[in-house]
Chain A
Amino acid sequence: DTGVSQDPRHKITKRGQNVTFRCDPISEHNRLYWYRQTLGQGPEFLTYFQNEAQLEKSRLLSDRFSAERPKGSFSTLEIQRTEQGDSAMYLCASSFSGLAGGTGELFFGEGSRLTVL
């Protein structure tokens, strides 16, 4: 049984560089979420997909951030021209929602920690 996997687990980059994170959800899950967590805070919603469609984006997601889920399976989150304020843990989660809806439970990966120098 494989859970949600994220890669890389840690990324250190210099300000102004681009970074990309990958998330592989649980295989039968049709919904995929990205959250950001800074030190001492709870996870903050960034965006979510149902299959390959990106259905909602938070106002936290500036133009420098882009997320894709091209075939409704894995997803990537790219941050362009990174800033020190982007330093955070980026969490991916997945869930299943059918015609009857779901219980709303999200299954989280272990996160990708970004440090921008």
Chain B
Amino acid sequence: AQSVTQLGSHVSVSEGALVLLRCNYSSSVPPYLFWYVQYPNQGLQLLLKYTSAATLVKGINGFEAEFKKSETSFHLTKPSAHMSDAAEYFCAVGGANSKLTFGKGITLSVRP
């Protein structure tokens, strides 16, 4: 079985500060890993994905994530937060049938 752990439910940063959202996964097979973003009352939008190519993955809106097998982690980072980054972020792990298992999500707040 696959699972994702996102520690903490809320992260608050100042505009211009580093964003770090943590994700740890459990998978019995080499995983596909994803970060999705959700704005209020909307569906999920893909930020980036890891599919066993480069371990450092660059996504949209300046986000990137690094796959670390030894730590079973796939943390999401952005060097400089913008007000428009305020949203809920979900880490997910995928299996052979493309069924994704999501974490509980982290709400990112950005202070002016």
Real binding pair: yes
Task: Name A residues whose Cβ lies closer than 8 Å to a Cβ of B.
Answer: 4, 31, 33, 40-45, 48, 55-56, 91, 93, 95, 97, 101-111, 113
Q: Select which of B4, B44, B98 is within 8 A of A104 by beta carbon.
A: B98
Pairs A–B under 8 Å by Cβ, sample size 30: A4-B43, A31-B97, A33-B98, A40-B104, A40-B105, A41-B104, A42-B92, A42-B102, A42-B103, A42-B105, A43-B44, A44-B102, A45-B100, A56-B97, A56-B99, A91-B43, A91-B44, A97-B97, A101-B96, A103-B32, A104-B32, A104-B34, A104-B98, A105-B34, A105-B98, A108-B36, A108-B43, A109-B43, A111-B42, A113-B41
Further pairs besides A42-B104, A107-B46, A111-B42: 4, Cβ < 8 Å: A4-B43, A41-B104, A42-B90, A104-B32
Looking at the assembled complex, report how far the CB atom of A99 sits from the nearest CB atom of chain B, in whole angstroms: 13
In the complex, which residue of chain A has the Cβ closest to the Cβ of B6?
A42
Task: Name B residues whose Cβ lies closer than 8 Å to a Cβ of A.
Answer: 4, 9, 32, 34, 36, 41-46, 49, 51, 90, 92, 94-105
